Structure 1
Amino acid sequence: MAYDLEATPSRDVRSGVRDLLVHYSGLTVDDAVLVTDELVSNANRHGDAPRACRLELRDEGKRLLIEVDDSSSH
C-alpha cells in the first residue's frame, strides 16, 4: 500500500494499517497504528513535499514494513 501524504489524510493512512492487519488484533494493531501515525506526523510537520508512506506485510504476514519519506535533505 502506498499513500501520497499530500493528498491522503492521516486518518486514511491509519485505516490502511488496520485494513492491512485485519487478521491481527489488540496491541499488535494499536502499536502499528501508533508508530505509523507518529512517522506520518513527523514527515508532515518536519519534512518537505512530496511526502509518501508505504506499508507492506512481509515474511508471510509476520512483519510489517512502514516507510515514510519526504524530499528534505535533513
Structure 2
Amino acid sequence: MGALSPWHIILIAIVALLLFGPNKLPELGRGFGKMFREFKDATNGNSSNSSTDDQPSIARKEINPDVASSDAGQVNK
C-alpha cells in the first residue's frame, strides 16, 4: 500500500470535519497530541506520569567551595 496522496489527506480532513464539527476538532487534536507525547515518553523510558508543568521544581542546595565542611561552616582563607 502506497503513501497517502494530498487528495487522500484532504478527503480524510473533510470526513473528520463532517463527523465531529469545527468546534470539536481542536479538542480532538490536543487529545491525540497528548496521547502521542505520553506514548513517546513511555517508549523512551521517561517514567513521569504527568507533564513537567504539573511537577513542582526541586530546590537544589548550593555548594560553595570556599566553605570547609569540617570546620562547621567557617570560611578558610
Measured against the shorter chain, the TM-score band is 0.3 to 0.5
* Bigger strand share: 1
What TM-score, normalized to structure 1?
0.34
What TM-score, normalized to structure 2?
0.33
